[in-house]
Each structure stands twice: as structure tokens, then as C-alpha cells.
Structure 1
């Protein structure tokens, strides 16, 4: 009788312990699930948007619980190519309509999500300590300079706008041996900041964020295609609703104020 009671007690304790263990595991699993973000967005964005987007990251995540944001910055052309080749992304923020048009033509975007959210201008810069005094792109003298930093025209939008501008002024061909090509607009800016080039051509927003360069001139808008920034959600995104929320935030009042803060139009 005693052995039977002891056996019954042993079985009861075993069931109780297993139940507690399952409960603990469930609680732990629930805690992990609660901590895991509902959506982890990957935003592919033009390098010129770096400071704006880093500024918006915290406020956006605070206002949208369960959504976290990671950025992949680079030239719009190169970002588009990597995505076309299968790289994952949820939102594309381009520094040119051309790259966005190419993506849309290939049906890679949620078409109705596309929206132009800001504009920019092209400026000629030099190092802050330079004594160069030209006041227009038209005053550039190929014989009077050693290096001009520009974006790579085939894949970097700022390089394409620069080429269009210099071609409009019949300067492109005569400057070929003087060009220092950057892989994105921030590399062009760095060349001038470091004194590796006499001049550089960047967006006005890039010159705005540094004290190491000074702006000599702004390009006439008729010399190049309009510098427009479109954004869109990718059709292959697994978090299209969250991606749209991010795009809405960027194009809303908070986004507009931050873009203006960093020198965008």
C-alpha cells in the first residue's frame, strides 16, 4: 500500500514538473515573440539621403511600434542593379527618376506606391581653404585645374547630371583627363574635403552638411535633367504595409521638415 502511494506521488510530481516546464518554455517563447519586431524593413537609398534617413530612424521606430529599419546606402544605379539581381529590399529611394523608371518598367515596384518626395540642385565646390574664386560652371578652365571630382556617370545620378551640365557647356570632352570618378556622391565630397581634387560637383544637400568645403556656383537647372527623388515599395517585399508606412512617414510633415533641415528642396 505504501509502495502504491509512493508511486502515485512520484507520477503526480513528474506531471507537475513537466507542466511547469512547458509553462516556462511557453512564457519564454512568448517573451521572445513579443520582443521580435513585427517587420524588419530594409531601405535601399541614395547615398545623398544618408543624414536625413539616419535622423528619421529613431522617431519613425518610436511612432511605429514593431517596425525596425535598416539602411543600405549607395548610388541609385548600383542599388537598382543589385536588387534586379535578387538582393532583398522593401523600399527604394532613388536620386533619379531614370533608375526608378527602369525598376517600374521591369514590374519590380508596387506602382501605386511611387511618389516624388524631394528635389535637389547641382553645385560646384572646392576645399574651404582654397583661394579659387570662379563663380559659375561656365568659368571652369580645364587648363587651370589638375583634378575635378565627379560621380561615375553610368551608375551614379550626380555623375549623370554633371555630365549633362558639362556637355551643355562644351566642357565634358576637354575635362576627360582631369576627372576623378566617385562611386557615389559622398565619395566625390570626400575627394574635395581631403584636398584630392581642385573642384567637385555634388548636390547642394551634400555641401550643406560639411564645413570642409565651400560652394562656388550652382548649376542652371536647364543644363541637366530635373533632380527629383522618387520612392516606392518593392513588389517582392514581405512587409508591404510596413514599407508603405515608412514611405508615408518620409513624405509626410516629419519627413519634409527633416529634408529641409539637411538642405533638400
Structure 2
């Protein structure tokens, strides 16, 4: 049985996510008023790339977006609970499908914006033996850091890859499940876990980790980041920000952070 993250990091991250979203709820404008900035709820793995895009948007418009980063499952449930957001960017299709089923987003605005790949990482100055193909052997007496395998997209992709490669049974009792893929990255970066499974874009964002191996693309479902306007958004700049995410201006910023730009209409579910 994979164990959940037992350190203070888990509770701190949960408090941060709830605090940020609750703060937005508390600061929501009165009925009929508009918030100053577009509010975007985005998967944690997008932080560096979307911060770059937001800076470009601000330079062009003079109006920065307010971006809340967390695991896609937490964000989708917060939107469902009434948290104010104008756009939702998920790290997998499942949580966007959840939002569609709950009528939380405008289905006609959905776009498959980005793709990514999955990698195995270790601390930069690792002594992990990388000549073996067995992750269990590479772990030694340590644990494998991953996003929650039942909820966090990177965790679900990681579990699918481990099962496909026949590694799951050997490591499932030695997994430290984190609240988000960035929390899993942090555990490896700090040396608290000898190995972790994250997106390639996450690995590229942290010089304290190194990529040990890449998971074959066919070992897990395709990694797709869909984006959509929320059903309740009335911000006049929301559609323009979505268009900016799809623009030639944003494309090289996403690619520089390790993402694959898909930018295509989503298959309807």
C-alpha cells in the first residue's frame, strides 16, 4: 500500500492551497463588479512557464493575471465549491472531464494546449546506481516520490507507467505520495527521496535534480494539458487571455520550459 506524505510539507502545502483559494473567495467582488485581473487556476507543473507567459501578457496589456497553482484535482474541486476563477488549466484530461460533467467550464472553449513527458529524477549529486533497469533496486532503502497516484495527474501517469513496465508491485509499498508534482520534485531536490517521478518540465526547472531516465511515451496515457474558460467567468479579458495562451507570443515561452505546444481543439467528451 503506497503511503501518503507524512511530513509537515503535506500539511503546509494543503494549508497554502486552501489559504490562497479561500483568500480569493473572501476577496471576491460584490455581485455585478469585476475583479481587477483575470484569475487563472493552473496545474502546479505549469508555474515557471505560465509565469513567463503572464509577464509577457502584462507587458502587452499592462494587466497581469492572478494565477493560483496547485494540483489539478484540488483546483477542480475548489472551482466546484465556488472559488472564483476565469480559466482552468488542468494537467490531465480527467479533471477537465470532471469540470465538464459538473458544468464548471464552457465546453466550447476547451483546447488541448500543451503536452509533456514523464521522467525519473534523482538529486543532482546522486549516488544512485543507474545501470540497472529496476527502480526498486535503484531505490535501495529509500522511497520513491510521486504525486498522489489516485488524484494528482503526474501520480496517475507515473503509476500507469510503473504498471506497464512491471515495476509497480515492487515499489508500491515504498512510495511517498505528495500533494502535487512540485511537492514530489521538492522531496528529491532536498534529498529527502533518492528518486522521484515528475514531468520533464519540472526536472528542467530545478538545477538540484538530474534526469535518470525517461519513461517511454507508450507506457502511460498521453500527457495533455487542456484549458477552458469557466462557466461563471464574466471578466472581459478572460477570452483574450485564453487567446494569448494559444498565440505565437506564448509558444516559445512554453517550449523553453520543456512543454510541447499542441494548441488544438479538444475532442469532445
Question: Normalised by the size of structure 1, how large is the TM-score?
Answer: 0.81
Measure the CA separation in 2 of the matches of 1:155 and 1:141: 23
Counterpart in the other structure of 1:210:
206
Structure 2 matches for 1:101-116, cutoff 5 A?
A: 101-116=97-112
Counterparts of 1:1-265 in structure 2, within 5 Å, are: 39-65=36-62, 67-134=63-130, 138-142=133-137, 144-239=140-235, 241-265=236-260
Deviations 1:173-224 (A, max 9, x none): 3212211111111111110011101100000000011211110111111111
- Is the partner of 2:57 in helix, strand or coil? helix
Q: Which residue of 2 aligns with 1:23?
A: none
Greater Rg, structure 1 or structure 2?
1
**TM-superposition CA deviations, 1:65-108 (whole Å, max 9, x none):** 5x441111000011101111111111001110111111112222
Which deviates the most, 110-119 or 139-148? 139-148
Unaligned stretches of 5+ residues in structure 2: 1-32, 261-269
TM-score (norm 2): 0.79
Unaligned runs of 5+ in 1: 1-35
Offset of residue 145 of structure 1: 4.0
Q: RMSD across aligned C-alpha pairs, in angstroms? A: 1.9
Following superposition, the deviation at residue 252 of structure 1 comes to 0.9
Rounded Cα–Cα distance in structure 1 between residues aligned with 2:123 and 2:182: 15
Instruction: Decide which structure has greater helix share.
Output: 1
Please give the secondary structure, in 2, of the residue aligned with 1:253.
coil
Asked whether the 8 Å contact 2:44–2:181 carries over to 1, the reply is: yes
Please identify runs of 4+ aligned residues in structure 1 that moved more than 3 A. 36-39
Residue 133 to residue 57, structure 1, CA distance change in 2 (3 Å): same
